[in-house]
C-alpha cells in the first residue's frame, strides 16, 4: 500500500491497473443491482408509483453523504471512501437478497445510495489528483465504469430470468475482490483547508462560478441515471418485453454513456455552453421519446442510446469543469458539490414521476415530462469560467 501527499502525483501503470480494476468491479456489481432492484420491487407486489419512491431512497442517502464529504476529505483519504463504498454495496445486495420486506428494501437502498456517493465522489477525486488533466482522468474512469455497467445488466438479465435473488448475491460477490485491488491504491493524504484572508468573504462552493454550472450538468446526468435505474426497466416490462431484453436494453444505455464519456474531451472543445446544452438535450429528449415509444423496442433502444450519449458527456464534463474552476485543495469539495446536485436529482426525478403518475394518463407520459423539465436548466446555461481546458 502506497502513500502520497502530492496532489499532482504521477500515475504509474500499477496504479492505473488497480484503480481501473476497482472501478470495473464496482460498476459490474452496481449494474447488476440496478436492473434487479426495480424488478424485485414489482415482483414483491409494489405498485408502479411506489417503485420511484423506493428507488428514490437511495438518493436520500447520497444527498446526506455527499453533503458532508467535502469536510470529511480534510480528514480521510480518498481510498478510505472507496473501500467503504465497496462494503456498503455488497451489504445492500445481500440484504435485499435475503428479504424484500419494506424495511429491508428501504435500508438496502440507503446503503446503496451511500455506496454510490462514497465511490463516485471518492474515485473521481482520487483520479484527478494524479498527473493527467481532469477531463482525461475522468474520461478514462467513466469509460471503465461504462464497461462494467455494460456487463452487469447483461449478466443480470440472463440470470434474472431464473432468479432475481441470485442476481443480488452474485452482485455482492463481485464487489468483494474489488476490496483487494482498492487496498493497494495510492493513499493520497487528506486535503488541507485553503487559507483565506480574514477580510475575504467565503463563497459557498455550490455558488462558485463553474461549480454551479457543473452542478446542473450533474443534475441532468443524475436524472438520466435515476430514470434508468427505476422506470426504464418497469416501462419495458410493462410494454411486454422479457427480463433478458430489459437487461440488454439497459446494457445498450450504458454503452451509450460509455461512448459519451469517451467523446467528452473533444466535445468540450465546442465550449462549455454548447457542449453542455447538447449533452443535456440529447439526454432528456432521448429519454422522453424512449418512454413514449417503449412498446416499439427498436425505436425505444435508438432513443435510449441517444440519451445515454448525452448523459455520458455530462457526467464527465461536469466534475471536470468543477475541478478546473477551483484550487487544488478544493477539488474534493467541488466534486462533492456536483455530486450533491446529482444526488438531489436522483431523488427528485423518480419521486416526481411517481407522483405525476396519478395526474397524467400513463407512467410513460410522466417519465417524459419530468425528464424534459429537469434538463431545462442545463440546456439554458451561459458560458463557463475562464481556465476550463
Kindly indicate the confidence band of residue 168, based on its pLDDT and cuts at 50, 70 and 90.
Answer: very high
Angle, CA 244 vertex, CA 241 and CA 246 arms, to 5°: 55
Give residue-wise pLDDT tens across range 247-258. 788 878 888 988
Give residue-wise pLDDT tens across range 329-338. 677 778 878 8
Give residue-wise pLDDT tens across range 355-383. 898 888 888 999 999 989 988 888 876 65
Contact assessment for residue 148 and residue 241, using Cβ atoms and an 8 Å cutoff: no
Q: Please report, for residues 108, 184, 326, the alpha-carbon distance to residue 25 in angstroms, rounded to integers and kept in the order given.
A: 19, 15, 31
Identify the residue whose cell numbers are 473521481.
Answer: 124
pLDDT > 90? residue 73: no
Give me the pLDDT at residue 69, please.
79
pLDDT > 90? residue 29: yes
- DSSP code per residue over 292-347: HTTTSHHHHHHHHHHHHHHHHHHHHHHHHHHHHTS-GGGHHHHHHHHHHHHHHHHH
Give the pLDDT mean for 104-111.
91
Kindly indicate the confidence band of residue 384, based on its pLDDT and cuts at 50, 70 and 90.
Answer: low
C-alpha 133/C-alpha 136 separation (Å) is: 5
Q: Would you kindly state where each structural domain of the chain is located, as residue ranges? A: 2-191+205-379
Give me the pLDDT at residue 246, please.
83
Backbone phi and psi for residue 4, each to the nearest 5 degrees, phi listed first: -150, 140
Give me the pLDDT at residue 309, please.
94
Is 210 or 154 the better-scoring residue by pLDDT? 154
Q: Provide CB contacts within 8 A for 76, sequence distance 6+.
A: 190
C-alpha 170/C-alpha 378 separation (Å) is: 37
Is 252 or 197 the better-scoring residue by pLDDT? 252
Give residue-wise pLDDT tens across range 250-303. 878 888 988 998 888 787 777 777 888 888 899 999 999 999 999 998 999 999
pLDDT > 50? residue 6: no
Nearest to 323 by CA among 220, 223, 224, 215: 215
Query: Average per-residue pLDDT in the chain?
Result: 82
Backbone phi and psi for residue 3, each to the nearest 5 degrees, phi listed first: -115, 150
Is 87 or 376 the better-scoring residue by pLDDT? 87
Cell of 70: 467535502
Give the pLDDT mean for 24-40.
89
Give me the pLDDT at residue 35, please.
83
Give the pLDDT mean for 293-319.
90
Kindly indicate the confidence band of residue 11, based on its pLDDT and cuts at 50, 70 and 90.
Answer: low
- Rounded to the nearest 10 degrees, the angle between the axes of helix 297-324 and helix 211-238 is 160
Backbone phi and psi for residue 187, each to the nearest 5 degrees, phi listed first: -95, 95
pLDDT > 50? residue 388: no
Give me the pLDDT at residue 206, please.
62
Q: Which CATH architecture has domain 2-191+205-379?
A: Up-down Bundle (1.20)
C-alpha 335/C-alpha 319 separation (Å) is: 6
Give residue-wise pLDDT tens across range 115-164. 988 998 888 888 877 666 667 778 888 888 888 878 888 888 889 888 89
Angle, CA 218 vertex, CA 215 and CA 220 arms, to 5°: 115
If phi > 0 it is left, if psi is from -120 to 50 it is alpha, else beta; for residue 383 that is left
Cell of 107: 435500508
Kindly indicate the confidence band of residue 203, based on its pLDDT and cuts at 50, 70 and 90.
Answer: low
- Residue 196, exposed/middle/buried by CB under 10 A (0-12, 13-18, 19+)? exposed
Contact assessment for residue 309 and residue 255, using Cβ atoms and an 8 Å cutoff: no
Contact assessment for residue 345 and residue 370, using Cβ atoms and an 8 Å cutoff: no
C-alpha 236/C-alpha 233 separation (Å) is: 5
pLDDT > 50? residue 389: no
Is 304 or 75 the better-scoring residue by pLDDT? 304
Backbone phi and psi for residue 12, each to the nearest 5 degrees, phi listed first: -65, 160
Amino acid at each position: 500500500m502506497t502513500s502520497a501527499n502530492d496532489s499532482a502525483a504521477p500515475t504509474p501503470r500499477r496504479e492505473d491497473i488497480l484503480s481501473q480494476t476497482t472501478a470495473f468491479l464496482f460498476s459490474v456489481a452496481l449494474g447488476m443491482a440496478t436492473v434487479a432492484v426495480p424488478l424485485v420491487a414489482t415482483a414483491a407486489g409494489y405498485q408502479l408509483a411506489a417503485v420511484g419512491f423506493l428507488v428514490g431512497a437511495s438518493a436520500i442517502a447520497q444527498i446526506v453523504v455527499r453533503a458532508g464529504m467535502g469536510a470529511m476529505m480534510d480528514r480521510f483519504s480518498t481510498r478510505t471512501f472507496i473501500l467503504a463504498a465497496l462494503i456498503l454495496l455488497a451489504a445492500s445486495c445481500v440484504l435485499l437478497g435475503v428479504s424484500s420486506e419494506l424495511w429491508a428494501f428501504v435500508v438496502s437502498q440507503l446503503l446503496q445510495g451511500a455506496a454510490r456517493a462514497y465511490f463516485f465522489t471518492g474515485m473521481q477525486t482520487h483520479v484527478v489528483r494524479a498527473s493527467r488533466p481532469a477531463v482525461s482522468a475522468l474520461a478514462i474512469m467513466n469509460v471503465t465504469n461504462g464497461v462494467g455497467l455494460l456487463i452487469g445488466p447483461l449478466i443480470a438479465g440472463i440470470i434474472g430470468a431464473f432468479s432475481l435473488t441470485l442476481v443480488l448475491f452474485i452482485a455482492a460477490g463481485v464487489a468483494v475482490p474489488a476490496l483487494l485491488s482498492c487496498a493497494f491504491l495510492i493513499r493520497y493524504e487528506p486535503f488541507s483547508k485553503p487559507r483565506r484572508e480574514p477580510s475575504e468573504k467565503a463563497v459557498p462552493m455550490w455558488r462558485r462560478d463553474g461549480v454551479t454550472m457543473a452542478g446542473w450538468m450533474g443534475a441532468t446526468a443524475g436524472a438520466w441515471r435515476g430514470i434508468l435505474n427505476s422506470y426504464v426497466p418497469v416501462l419495458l416490462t410493462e410494454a411486454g418485453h422479457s427480463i433478458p431484453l430489459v437487461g440488454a436494453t439497459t446494457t445498450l444505455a450504458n454503452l451509450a454513456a460509455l461512448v459519451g464519456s469517451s467523446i467528452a474531451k473533444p466535445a468540450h472543445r465546442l465550449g462549455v455552453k454548447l457542449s453542455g446544452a447538447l449533452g443535456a438535450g440529447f439526454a432528456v429528449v432521448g429519454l422522453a421519446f424512449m418512454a413514449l415509444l417503449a412498446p416499439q423496442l427498436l425505436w425505444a433502444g435508438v432513443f435510449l442510446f441517444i440519451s445515454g450519449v448525452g448523459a455520458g458527456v455530462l457526467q464527465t464534463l461536469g466534475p471536470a469543469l468543477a475541478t478546473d474552476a477551483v484550487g487544488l485543495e478544493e477539488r474534493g469539495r467541488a466534486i462533492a458539490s456536483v455530486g450533491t446536485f446529482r444526488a438531489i436529482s436522483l431523488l427528485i426525478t423518480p419521486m416526481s414521476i411517481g407522483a405525476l403518475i396519478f395526474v397524467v394518463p400513463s407512467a410513460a407520459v410522466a417519465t417524459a415530462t419530468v425528464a424534459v423539465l429537469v434538463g431545462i436548466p442545463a440546456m439554458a446555461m451561459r458560458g463557463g469560467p475562464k481556465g476550463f481546458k
